[in-house]
Amino acid sequence: MAIIKSVRGFTPKIGVNCFLADNAVIIGEVDMGDSCTVWFNAVVRGDVHSISIGANTNIQDGAIVHCTYQKAKTVVGSNVSIAHNAIVHGCTIEDNVLIGMGAIVMDNAIIKTGSVIAAGAVVLANTIVEENTIYAGLPAKKVKDTGENMKAVIERTAKNYPMYAAWYKNE
């Protein structure tokens, strides 16, 4: 069973039909929408500021979602995929976004709708990622627009994770 822990008077609010892996950790001031998935070894830690997560968002294995004390809350939209070992910290991620494996998004960055942060990219604090673009590198820079193929990947990834979660519910 996932670790769901209250801290500083805040208890996580988990939407309906969410899958939380056995060793996922959700702490504090977290408000998670419906049909989200939080996978193995992922941590959503709202101990120092608030974290809000829209519907149908997946936080994959080893990912960390955190914030900065009294300075930077974290807001994650709907249909977002935060891939394996990514770090999302004190930033805003709008709807229909893919954060690649091992990517880092820092405080006060804004990732606009339909964008992709490539695997291993580092989005520096205060960066604004344009809508429907792909950012890659260290520091992350725009490399191109998402295009229809990548938009389909964003949508397919968000749709697949609830299906994967259903496999575990049937075991």
DSSP 83: -
pTM beyond 0.95: the answer is yes
Return d(Cα 119, Cα 133) in angstroms, integer. Answer: 14
pLDDT for the residue 169: 82
169 vs 44: which has the higher pLDDT: 44
* Mean pLDDT of all residues belonging to the chain: 97
CA angle 84, 29, 79 (to 5 degrees): 45
- With 90 as the cut, is the pLDDT of residue 108 above it? yes
Structure tokens that stand for 60 in this block: 């994959």
* pLDDT value, residue 64: 98
For domain 3-169, give the fold: UDP N-Acetylglucosamine Acyltransferase; domain 1 (2.160.10)
pLDDT-derived band of residue 134, with 50, 70 and 90 as boundaries?
very high
Q: How far apart (Å, rounded) are the C-alpha atoms in residues 40 and 49?
A: 23
Upstream peptide bond of 12 is cis (omega within 30 degrees of 0): no
Tokens of 47: 């101990």
Structure letter (DSSP) for residue 127? -
- pLDDT tens digits along 49-70: 999 999 999 999 999 999 999 9
